[in-house]
Amino acid sequence: MSKTVILFGELMIRLNTEGFSRFVQADRFNIYYTGAEANAGAALAGWGYEARLVSRVPTHDLGQACVNYMRRYGLDTRFVQRAGEKLGILYVENGASQRQSKVIYDRGGSAFATFSDEALDWNDVFRGARWLHFSGTAPALAPRLVPVLKRACAAAKSNGVTIGCDLNFRRKLWSQEEAGRVMTELMEFIDVLICNEEDAGMVFGIKARGDSVTSGHLDRDGYGDVARQLQERFGLSHVAITLRESLSATMNNWSALLYTKTECVFGKKYAIHIVDRVGGGDSFAAGLIYGLCEGWDTARVVDFAVAASCLKHTIPGDFNLVTLDEVKTLMAGDGSGRIQR
Amino acid sequence: MSKTVILFGELMIRLNTEGFSRFVQADRFNIYYTGAEANAGAALAGWGYEARLVSRVPTHDLGQACVNYMRRYGLDTRFVQRAGEKLGILYVENGASQRQSKVIYDRGGSAFATFSDEALDWNDVFRGARWLHFSGTAPALAPRLVPVLKRACAAAKSNGVTIGCDLNFRRKLWSQEEAGRVMTELMEFIDVLICNEEDAGMVFGIKARGDSVTSGHLDRDGYGDVARQLQERFGLSHVAITLRESLSATMNNWSALLYTKTECVFGKKYAIHIVDRVGGGDSFAAGLIYGLCEGWDTARVVDFAVAASCLKHTIPGDFNLVTLDEVKTLMAGDGSGRIQR
Amino acid sequence: MSKTVILFGELMIRLNTEGFSRFVQADRFNIYYTGAEANAGAALAGWGYEARLVSRVPTHDLGQACVNYMRRYGLDTRFVQRAGEKLGILYVENGASQRQSKVIYDRGGSAFATFSDEALDWNDVFRGARWLHFSGTAPALAPRLVPVLKRACAAAKSNGVTIGCDLNFRRKLWSQEEAGRVMTELMEFIDVLICNEEDAGMVFGIKARGDSVTSGHLDRDGYGDVARQLQERFGLSHVAITLRESLSATMNNWSALLYTKTECVFGKKYAIHIVDRVGGGDSFAAGLIYGLCEGWDTARVVDFAVAASCLKHTIPGDFNLVTLDEVKTLMAGDGSGRIQR
Amino acid sequence: MSKTVILFGELMIRLNTEGFSRFVQADRFNIYYTGAEANAGAALAGWGYEARLVSRVPTHDLGQACVNYMRRYGLDTRFVQRAGEKLGILYVENGASQRQSKVIYDRGGSAFATFSDEALDWNDVFRGARWLHFSGTAPALAPRLVPVLKRACAAAKSNGVTIGCDLNFRRKLWSQEEAGRVMTELMEFIDVLICNEEDAGMVFGIKARGDSVTSGHLDRDGYGDVARQLQERFGLSHVAITLRESLSATMNNWSALLYTKTECVFGKKYAIHIVDRVGGGDSFAAGLIYGLCEGWDTARVVDFAVAASCLKHTIPGDFNLVTLDEVKTLMAGDGSGRIQR
Amino acid sequence: MSKTVILFGELMIRLNTEGFSRFVQADRFNIYYTGAEANAGAALAGWGYEARLVSRVPTHDLGQACVNYMRRYGLDTRFVQRAGEKLGILYVENGASQRQSKVIYDRGGSAFATFSDEALDWNDVFRGARWLHFSGTAPALAPRLVPVLKRACAAAKSNGVTIGCDLNFRRKLWSQEEAGRVMTELMEFIDVLICNEEDAGMVFGIKARGDSVTSGHLDRDGYGDVARQLQERFGLSHVAITLRESLSATMNNWSALLYTKTECVFGKKYAIHIVDRVGGGDSFAAGLIYGLCEGWDTARVVDFAVAASCLKHTIPGDFNLVTLDEVKTLMAGDGSGRIQR
Amino acid sequence: MSKTVILFGELMIRLNTEGFSRFVQADRFNIYYTGAEANAGAALAGWGYEARLVSRVPTHDLGQACVNYMRRYGLDTRFVQRAGEKLGILYVENGASQRQSKVIYDRGGSAFATFSDEALDWNDVFRGARWLHFSGTAPALAPRLVPVLKRACAAAKSNGVTIGCDLNFRRKLWSQEEAGRVMTELMEFIDVLICNEEDAGMVFGIKARGDSVTSGHLDRDGYGDVARQLQERFGLSHVAITLRESLSATMNNWSALLYTKTECVFGKKYAIHIVDRVGGGDSFAAGLIYGLCEGWDTARVVDFAVAASCLKHTIPGDFNLVTLDEVKTLMAGDGSGRIQR
C-alpha cells in the first residue's frame, strides 16, 4: 500500500520570541520554518511515510534555509519551486497563564501566492500517492490559488488519491463569506474534513441543532451533530472535529471526535501542560492521515491522532517530532512522563 | 482631565539569573531596569498616560542605560538627575514549586539616596499633573529623603494633585519601628494607600479585630476590617489591599480589595501560573491609579487593577507590558489564553 | 563526631538540550558534570560535611573540567585519579507534560571502568570517615569494579564506617540477573539501603506479600512490607523506599518511607512542579545520610530527606544546591515559594 | 541656535544571524530596529541634539517595538504614524574575511510606503528645526513618496531649514535610470549631499575627469573632481564623499572628503577591524550634520564625521552609540583602544 | 555526465565550546554533526551534485539527529546504516591568536567502526556514480574497515568510478607505521591523492629531495618535488598538496598545488582571518572533486578548490555552506567582503 | 621547596556585556569572579602550586558563588572570611578596534574593605608559604586596610616569605598623592615589584632620565632606567616592567623586562589578537612568581611570564586558564595556533 502523502501549501518562516518574552521587549527570535501542511508532513515523514511538499519559496538564502529545514525532518522537497522574493512570516509570542499567545502574520505577496502549475504535470506529483492534504489557508492566501487547487484535486482524484482538508479558518487572511464560498466549491473534492466546531459555524454556518446545545459549551451530542451535518452536506467519508478547552495559555484539555457514516467516536481527553501549541491541529491531521492510511478502526485512528497531537504540545516549533513508539506508549495509557533510561 | 502621573523613587538595575538557575550556579544575568514607582509608571505610559519620573541615576553608562530603558517604555525622564557613581542593584533568582525566589539588594550609597531638590522647582514637576505616586522604599533608603518627600507632597497638594502610596515594607531596608514612625508622618499627605495585610500589621500595628479572624488566613471580613482601620486612622479616600496566596513559587492566587468610605469591594481572584512575580504589586498600583483617574466605579477599578496585575505575572521583567485591550479582555472573562491570530 | 562521607562512583559529563528542545532539533547542550554518588556528595558538602570522591577521570581537559566542577561545589577531589581517555556521558532531553524525559548513555569504556586500587591504601581514604556511599551503577559498569568495591567495603567496615547503598537499577547497564547476583553479594556489607519498590522487585524479586497489594498501586502497608523483607533478608539497619508518583513529566508527587527494625515512618508528600528531576533520588540519599549522621529520630530524618530532595526537583543540573535553612523552612511547612527579600 | 534635526525615512526591523552564522544554518536572529535616517538621528540624539523622526510603522506590536527602540536611544517619535500591517525587514548575515556580508530586503508593501502627509502640517514638523535629513532609499521605496518628499523639502526651505541628503543608491530598490531622474528633481532642494564615488557615477553619471584617474582606484584628485562636479551641477553648499576600502569583510580602511566651494578637505584614514559595518555611512551623515550645525571649520567637520563613523564600525546594530567624548578622544589621536578605568 | 559522488566515512557529533571559551570554563556546547567525507559531500551537494553517504550511526535519537543534519544540507543518507549505541564525538575548543585550537576525540567503539557491507551490494552504491571519496581516518578507526574499504574500492573501479583519498593522518587514531602500511595498500586503488607535505612525510616517508629544501619552510620546488614523488610511487593521476601557513590561530595563509603528470600548478594564496578552520581541508577536497568532475583545466581546478576552502574558514561548523557564485566571485578576485545588497 | 603562594586582595564579581555589546545596549551580562591577586593565584593553582586566598566576601549567595568560582579553579579559600553585604563589582564592556574597553567600578563599601585580622593568626596563613602577593588596589580600597597589610607583610617577613607587589595604580580608587605616600610605606616590605612605566611615574614620580627618552615612546634604555631607579630607591631584588603597546583594542604588542641588580632582560614581544585583556597584568605576575619560585634564570623567568600572559589575552574572563605545557610550547616558539589533535 502506498505511503506517500502530498502536501500542498505555503512554507513560512516562524520567528518566535524567546521564553515568555513579549514582542515589545524581545531582543532575539528563535527561527523555525513551518506551514500547516508541512507540519503534518513532518510528522508523517518521522513515522516512515513519504511526505512530498508542493510549494514555492523565494530564490534567496532564506528560501534555501526553509528547504533545508524541510529536508532535515525528512520531507521531500523536489516539488518546491524557487521563485520570488518574499517568504511569508509568522511572528509568534508565547502566552502564559491568562496571557494569550500572539501571532503576527506577514504573508502578503509571498512567493507561494505566486505558485504556478504551468510547468507542472500534476500526474508526476500524484504518481503512486495515497493522500493529498491541504488546509484552508492555501486558498485564503490568494484567489489565484483556487483554480490551481482545483486542478490539483482533479488530478488527485483521477489518480485515486484520497483528499483531506483541514478547514483552518484564519480571519486575518479572508472573510467568512469568501471562505464559505471558496471552501464550499472545494468540498466537492474532499473526502476527509478536519475542523473545529467554531470554524464549521463561521465558514459553513453549521451549528449544533435542537436542544443538544448547552449554553457556552457544546456537549458530546452537539459536537456529533455538527460532524453529522458536515458529513451529510458534503458527502464526506470522515469528519474529524478537534476539541480544545483553553483553560489558560498554560493548561489545555485536548481531544477530538471522528465521525464516519456509521460511527461517532470520541478520543481520550488529555490535560496538557503546554510548551508550544502552534501546530497542534496540524499534528492531529497527521495522526488522522496516518491512522486512516494504516486502515485502523475508527477508535484507534482518533486515539492515535489525539495522542500524537497531545505530544506535539510539548515540543518547541511546529513540527511534531515524536516517534511512533512514543505515541503508542501514550495511547497505551502511559502519560506519566517518567524518564526513559 | 490631566493624565499625568508623577513617580518619585529609586531606579535600579535588576540582574536576574536565567531560567531557574540559582545564584551559585549562574553564569549569566539578564538585565532589566526597575524601580517600584517606575514599574507603575511604565504600565501607565503603555496605557496612554504621561508618566514622569523624578529620580537620580549615576553619570556613567549604566545610568544612561537605565534612562534609555525608561524611555523605551514611554516614561518621561526629564526629571531624572544625573549624579553619583552607584546604581542600586536587585539581584534576582526565580523560584519554582517549593523553592522560593530570592532577592539580594545592593542599594547602599546609591545615586538616588543623594537625590536633591535644591535646584528643583517642585511646581515644575507637578504642573498639570493628576497624581503623585511613591512607595515606602523611597524613604526607607535614606533618612535625608524624608524631608525631600515631604516637600514633594506639600507641593503636590498645593497643585491639587492626588497622592498615592504603596506601603511596600522591606525589612532589609529599615526596621518596623523606623518604617512606622516615618510612614505615619507621611500618611498625613496620602489620599490613597496600597498595602498588603501583613505590612499593615508590621508598619502600623493594624490587625483585623474581633472574631473576624480565623487562624492563619484572614477571611474577607478580616481584610475589610484592616482596610477600615487604615482608612479611619489616616483619613484616606481609598485603601487597597492586595491578596496573594502563595501556593508555591509556581502557582499563586491573586486578588485585591478596594475600600472607600462607603464600599469594600473584592476583585475577582485569579489562579496564576507564574512567569515573573516581581513587580506584581507595582502593576496593581498602576491599575488602581488608572481606574481612579478614569473615574470608574469602585468595582471596575479593583477589577481592572487585579486583571492588569494578574497579567504582569506572565511577563519577564518588572514592567507590565500589556495593552488596555488585553486587560479588558481578561476583565471580560477571557482568561483562556487562546492564540490571537 | 566525624562529618566525612566517602563517595565511590563514576563521574560523568551531562549534556542537556536547552529548555524543552528534543535531541533531534537541538543545536546547543548545557554542560553539567554528575555522578550518582557525587550528586549526593555535593548536597552534603553544601551542608557543611566533608564529601570525598573516589573515582577516575580522563587526563584531558574535560577530565579537568569535571574535577573543577566538583571542587566548585565543595567536593574533595584528592582521590579522583587521572587516567584514560573517555569521560562517560549522559545526554538528557527534558520531558514535559505527557512527553517523557529521555536519557542516552555513552559510558562504555570510560575512565572510571578502569579504576584501580592498586596504588591506593583504602585506609587513607576511610581515615576519620563516617560513611561510605555508593550506588548500584558503580558495579553495573564493569565486572572488574566488583572486587574493588568489596575491598573498599571491607576497609570501610574495619574503619567503623557505615555503608549505605542506593540500589539504582539501570536496565541499560546490566541485566536483572547480574544485578541480583552482584548486589546480593554486596548486601553483606550494607547497613542502609535506598531503593524504590520497583527496583526491589526487579533486582531482588521482593514484592509486597499477601493482600496488602491493591492492583497497580501499592498502599502504605505494601511499601512497608517490601522494606521489611529487605531489612530481614539482608540484616539492614535502615531501608528507605522513595515514593514517586509520576502524574506527568511536569507534575510529580514525591515522598519516601524509612524503615528500621522498630519503625516504619512515611515522610510528607509533596506535589512538585518539576524543573529537573535527574538527581532527585541522589539528593534523597544525601538527606538520609545527613539525618542519620546527625543522629536525628526516624521521622525527622525522612522528613529532611524528602524535603531536601523535593527542592532538588526545582534546580537545573544534578546537584541539590540548597542550604540547610532552605530545607528546614520547607520542613517547617513553608512551601509557599514566597520571595525572600 | 536650534539643535533640532528632522529625519524622514523608513523604519525597519533588522534581523541578524548570530556571530558569523550564515542564513542557511541560523537558528536565531538578533533583533535591531533601523532606518538610514533613524540611524543618523540616534547618533545626533546621543550627542544632545533633538532628533525628530517622520515615518510610519504598523499598528501591531512590532510597530510599537520599533517605536520603543527609537525612544530608547533618544529619538522623538511623535511624528511616527501608526498604520498598516507590514514592517520592512532587513535580514543581515555578517561576513568575515573573504566572505561578504549579505542583506536580504523584505520591504515591499511596508507601512512607510503608505506614509501620508494629508493630515500633517509640515510647518509643525519643521518649527524650530535646523536640518532635514533624508536618504535616497525613501523615494526609492515608492513613487508616491516623491511628491511627499518635495512638499517636505519645500516646507523645510520656507522654514529656513538646511536640507541634507545621503544618496544611498540601492540597486534592489530601483534602477539607475529612475534613481537618476528622481534624485535630480530632488537635488534642487538639497544643500548638502553625501555619497560615495560609485553612487555618483551610477545615479548621476558623474565620473572623475581627465588624467586624474588611475586604473581601479581614484586618487585624491579624482575624488575631489567628482565632488566638484556634483557641487557645480546642483549648486550645493557641501559635498561629502565617503571613502571605503574594503580589504576584506574584516578589515576596511575608512575616510571621507568634504568639498565646499572653497575647499576640498580629506579626513584622517582609519584602518578598522570591523564588528558591524551596517550603518557606517549613516553615522558619517550624523557626524557631518553635527559638525556643520556646530559651525566648525571644514577640516574639523570631516575629521569628526570620519572619527564618529569609524567608531560605529565597532558597535553591533545600526546605531552609533558613542559619546561626544569618545569621538573627540579618537579625533585627538587616541585610537589605541586602551581600557578606560 | 554523472554528478554523483560517494562518500565513505564516519559521521560524528561535534561539540564546540562557545566563542573562545576553553573546555575547563565552558558551560555550553554548540552542536554540529560532521565527518571528513560528509564535510566534502555537503559542499558538493550545495553545488548541485548528488552526494551519497555510506556510513553507520547509532539507532538512538542522536543518530537520527545526525542523519537529519546531513539531509538538511542536501546529503543523500539512504546508505547510512542504523546500528549500535555510540556516536563518535569531536569536542572542539577554538583557539585565538597564539593559543591553539584543541580537539578531543571520543570515537572508540563507535557505530561506524562496526560498519558492515554484508547486506550491501556495492554495485547499488556505485551505480551511476562518478567519484568515490574517503579519507585516511576511515581505515584508521578500525582494522576491520580496511577489507571493507578494499571491497568498496574494487567495486568502484569495476563501475568506472574515480577514487580520491584525503590522507588526513591523525596521530591519535593510529601510528605512522600502521598508517604507512595500510595506506600504501589502499593507494593501489587511488587516482587522486590529497595531503599536506607533513603527512606525506609521516605516512609515506616522502620528503623533498636535494637542495630544493630551505630550512624550515619548503619552497615551491620542494612542494612540487613531494607531489612528484607521490605521483610516481603510486601512479596517481593527480596529487594535491594543501599549503597552510599558521601565522596564528587567528590568521592563516592558505593555498595549494595540484600536480598532474604534466603540470604543477600553485593556486592563489589567501590571507584568512579565521572563524572556524575545522573542515578546511575537507572543503578543499570538495572543490577539487568538483573541478575535476567538471573537466576544468588544472589551474582553474586548483583556484576553485583553494577559493572554496578559503571561504570555509569563515563559516562556523564543518560544512562549507557557500554557493558556486560566491566561490566564483572570490576566484574572480573580489575578496573585498563588501556587503551584498 | 614550598610551592605555596598567599594572595591578599579583594574578590569581586565581573559583569561583562556579551560580545562587543556596549553598556547602553546590553541585555545580558556574562558573570565572572575576579580579583587582581586571585587572578594571579588561579594561574599558579593551574600550574600545580597551592594558592591561598586571604580575603572577605559577603554572607549571601553571591559571596558563596564567588568562593565556588575560586574553588573551581583550584584556589584554597579557607582564609576567605564571610561577612558584610556587598560584593565589589567590575562592569566590563569589551572594546574593539579604535573603541576602548570600558570598566565601571562599584566597589564602595564592599565586604573586603571591612576585612579584619583580629581573629586571624597571620602565622597560620604564612606557615610553609613561599610568597605573598598583593597589588596596589588592596590598600587603595580603604585606609583601614593599610595597617592590616603591614601586619601581614611583617608576619610574612618573619616567616621567610618573599613579598611581591603589583603596583596596579587605579585613578578611580585613590589619588596619585595617596598612592605615592602609602605605597612608599609599603615598599619597605617588598622584594619584587611589578609595574608599568606610566604607573611608576604617577605613583613614585620616577621617570626615565637623561637623553634615553625619545618623545612619546621610551626606548629600551629608558625602560631599564626606570627599573633601575625603582630598584635603587626601594632596595628591591627584582623589578618587572610590563610593556604594552595598544595599537588598538583588537591588536596589542606585549612584552616586559625584568631587572635585577645585575641584569636587565627584555622578554620576547608578542603581537596579540585580543579576546580579553582584563587580567593580562595579573597573569604576568603569576608567571613571574612561578619562574622565580622555580629558581629559573632571569631570561627564562621573563620569557615564561610574558608567554603565559600573552596567552591570557586569548581567554575570556580574568583567569589565565592555560597549562604549563601550553606556555612552554609558546616559549619554544610555536605561536602558530595550529590545531592540537
Model confidence at B150: pLDDT above 80: yes
- Find chain A residues with C-beta within 8 A of E72's C-beta: 68-69, 71-72
Interface test with D, best of B62, B70, B72 (most D CBs within 10 A): B72
Share of chain D above pLDDT 90, in %: 90
User: What pLDDT score was predicted for residue B334?
Assistant: 78
Among F34, F92, F106, the strongest candidate for a mutation testing the B interface, having the largest count of B CBs within 10 A, is F106
Reference B72, options B86, B51, B99; nearest CA is: B51
Cell 490571537 sits on residue: B340
pLDDT at C115: 96
Q: Which three cell numbers stand for residue D164?
A: 541634507
Separation of alpha carbons A123 and A54, rounded Å: 13
The set of chains that have 3 or more CB pairs under 8 A with D is: A, B, E, F
Residues in chain F: 341
Nearest to C103 by CA among C177, C186, C12: C12
Least confident span in B64-68, C217-221, E178-182, E298-302: C217-221
pLDDT at D209 (0 to 100): 80
The whole-number pLDDT of residue D59 equals 97
For residue B212, what pLDDT is reported? 47
Please give the sequence-ordered ranges of beta strands (E in DSSP) within C83-161, or none if there are none: 88-93, 102-106, 131-135
How high is the pLDDT of residue D218? 67
CB-based contact C159:C123 (threshold 8 Å): yes
Mean pLDDT to the nearest integer, D160-183: 95
Closest by Cβ to B273, choosing from A21, A24, A250: A250
Q: Residue D286 pLDDT > 90, yes or no? A: yes
| Predicted confidence (pLDDT) at residue A26 exceeds the cutoff of 90 | yes
For the record, the C-alpha cell of F293 comes out as 619560585
- Higher-pLDDT residue of A169, E218: A169
Question: What cell does A177 get?
Answer: 463569506
Q: What is the pLDDT of residues D301-320, one digit of tens each?
A: 999 999 999 999 999 999 99
**C247 at the B interface (CB within 8 A)?**
no
Given a contact cutoff of 8 angstroms between Cβ atoms, the answer to whether A213 and A195 are in contact is no
How would residue F213 be classed by pLDDT, with cut points 50, 70 and 90?
very low
> Which residue in this structure is represented by grid cell 602500511?
E181
Q: Are F34 and F89 in contact (CB under 8 A)?
A: no
Choose among A25, A95, A98: nearest Cβ to B317.
A25
Which chain D residues have a beta carbon less than 8 Å from that of B69?
A: 72
- In this predicted model, which residue has the larger pLDDT, C154 or B339? C154
Whether E228 contacts chain F with CB within 8 A: no
The nearest CA of chain B is from the CA of D162 a distance in Å of 28
User: What's the average model confidence in pLDDT over A4-11?
Assistant: 98
Model confidence over B242-275: pLDDT tens digits? 999 999 999 999 999 999 989 999 999 999 999 9
Rounded CA-CA distance A271/A103 in Å is: 24
Q: What distance in Å separates the CA atoms of residue C194 and residue C280, rounded to the nearest whole number?
A: 13
Q: Indicate whether D61 pLDDT > 90.
A: yes
Where along chain A do its domains lie?
4-329
Nearest neighbour of F246 by CB, restricted to D272, D317, D338: D338
- Reply yes or no on whether the pLDDT at F212 is more than 80: no
- Per-window interface: D 302-331 vs B, CB < 8 A: none
* Residue A242: pLDDT over 50: yes
F329 CB-near residues (< 8 Å, 6+ apart) = E100
A249 contacts A101 by C-beta, under 8 angstroms:
yes
Per-residue pLDDT, F19: 96
Residue F201 has pLDDT above 50, yes or no: yes
Q: What is the DSSP code (8-state) at residue F50?
A: E
Mean pLDDT of E72-94: 97
| Interval B27-79: pLDDT, tens | 999 999 999 999 999 999 999 999 999 999 999 999 999 999 999 999 999 99
Residues 6+ apart with CB under 8 A from F126: F6, F132, F155, F156, F159, F161
Give the per-residue pLDDT at C212: 47
In whole angstroms, how far apart are CA C18 and each of A228, C28, C297?
Answer: 45, 7, 41
Provide, for chain B, the percentages of residues in helix, strand and coil under a 3-state DSSP scheme, each rounded to the nearest 5: 40, 25, 35
- Mean pLDDT for F197-209 is 92
- Banded model confidence at residue F210, pLDDT cuts 50, 70, 90: low
**Closest residue in E to A68 (Cα–Cα):** E72
Nearest chain C Cα to E33, which residue? C27
CB contact, 8 Å: A85 with chain D?
yes
Find chain E residues with C-beta within 8 A of F316's C-beta: 19-21, 25
Burial class (CB in 10 A: 0-12, 13-18, 19+), B235: exposed
- The letter for the amino acid at B78 is R
Longest CA–CA span in chain E (Å) reads 56
Element (H, E) at B181: helix B176-187
Over 50: is that where the pLDDT of A270 sits? yes
What phi, psi does E27 have (nearest 5°)?
-120, 5
Q: Do C72 and F74 touch (CB under 8 A)?
A: no
Instruction: Report the alpha-carbon distance of residue C69 to residue F71 in Å, rounded.
Output: 9
Residue of A nearest to D63 (CA): A24
pLDDT at C341: 65
**Cell, residue E126:** 556505485
pLDDT of residue B217: 57
Interchain pair F321, E20: CB under 8 A:
no
Put simply, the answer to whether C29 touches E26 (Cβ < 8 Å) is no
> If we measure between CA atoms, which residue out of A233, A238, A243 comes closest to residue A295?
A238
CA C179/CA C161 separation, integer angstroms: 24
Structure confidence at residue E218 (pLDDT): 67
Contact list in C for residue E28 (CB cut-off 8 A) is 28-31
Q: In this structure, what C-alpha cell is assigned to residue B197?
A: 495585610
Amino acid, res. E89: I
Tell whether E248 is within 8 A of chain A (Cβ): no
* pLDDT higher than threshold 80 for residue B302: yes
Number of B to D CB contacts under 8 A, please give it.
14
Q: What integer is the mean pLDDT of E8-16?
A: 98
Amino acid making up residue C155: A
Cα distance between residue E260 and residue D161, in whole Å: 70
pTM across the whole model:
0.96
Compute how many other C-beta atoms are within 10 angstroms of the C-beta atom of residue C284.
30
Determine the distance in angstroms separating the CA of A283 from the nearest CA of chain C, rounded to an integer. Answer: 15
Res. B333: pLDDT tops 90: no
**Read out DSSP for B92-108?**
EE--BTTBPPEEEEE-T
pLDDT band at F24 (very low <50, low <70, confident <90, very high): very high
- Ranking C260-264, E23-27, E208-212, F209-213 by mean pLDDT, the lowest is F209-213
Q: For a pLDDT cut of 70, what percent of chain D falls above it?
A: 96
Which stretches in chain C have pLDDT values below 50? Answer: 212-215
| Closest approach of F69 to chain B, Cα-based (Å) | 9
Rounded Cα–Cα distance for residues B326 and B320 (Å): 11
Nearest-by-CA chain F residue for E95: F337
Given an 8 Å threshold on Cβ–Cβ distance, is C65 in contact with E91?
A: no
CA-based nearest residue to E314, from B7, D20, F95, A328: D20
Chain B neighbours, 3+ Cβ pairs < 8 A: A, C, D, F
Q: Angle at which helices A298-312 and A280-294 pack, to 10 degrees? A: 150
Residues B2-22 pLDDT 10s: 899 999 999 999 999 999 999
Domain E4-330, what architecture? Answer: 3-Layer(aba) Sandwich (3.40)
Question: Do E330 and E307 touch, CB atoms closer than 8 A?
Answer: yes
CA–CA gap between residue A97 and residue B41 (Å, rounded)? 24
Residues of C in contact with E108 (CB under 8 A): 85-86, 109
Which tens digit of pLDDT belongs to each residue from B91-122?
999 999 999 999 999 998 999 999 999 999 99
How close, in Å, is residue B272 to chain A by CA atoms?
A: 6
Query: Which amino acid is present at C228?
Result: R
Place of cell 536587585: B90
Instruction: Judge whether B333 is closer than 8 Å to chain A, CB to CB.
Output: no
A24 and D64 within 8 Å at the Cβ level: the answer is yes
Identity of the residue numbered D161: V
Q: What is the pLDDT of residue A204?
A: 97
**Whether E32 contacts E16, CB under 8 Å:** yes
Give the residue with greater pLDDT, B211 vs F330.
Answer: F330
Q: Do B73 and D74 touch (CB under 8 A)?
A: no
Distance CA D27, CA D35 (A): 25
Q: How far is CA C210 from CA C218, C234, C256, D203, F89, in A?
A: 12, 21, 22, 95, 65
Q: Is D259 helix (H, G, I), strand (E, B) or coil?
A: strand
User: What pLDDT does E217 receive?
Assistant: 57
User: Which one of C23, C28, C104 has the shortest CB-CB distance to E30?
Assistant: C28
Query: Which residues are CB-neighbours of C160 under 8 A, at least 6 positions away?
Result: none
pLDDT for res E335: 74
Q: DSSP per residue over B112-172, as a string?
A: GGG---TT--HHHHHTT--EEEEETHHHHH-TTHHHHHHHHHHHHHHTT-EEEEE----TT
For an interface test with B, which of D68, D73, D76, D324 has the most B Cβ atoms less than 10 Å from its Cβ?
A: D68
Measured between CB atoms, does E68 come within 8 Å of chain A? yes
What's the CA angle centered on F112, arms F110 and F115, to 5 degrees?
Answer: 130
N-to-C CA span, chain C: 35
DSSP annotation of E309 reads H
Select D4-331's CATH number: 3.40.1190.20, 3.40.50.720, 3.90.180.10, 3.50.50.60: 3.40.1190.20
Contact A42, A75 (CB under 8 A): yes
Q: In this model, does residue E232 exceed pLDDT 50?
A: yes
Residue D313: its pLDDT value, please? 98
Superfamily the domain A4-329 falls into = Ribokinase (3.40.1190.20)
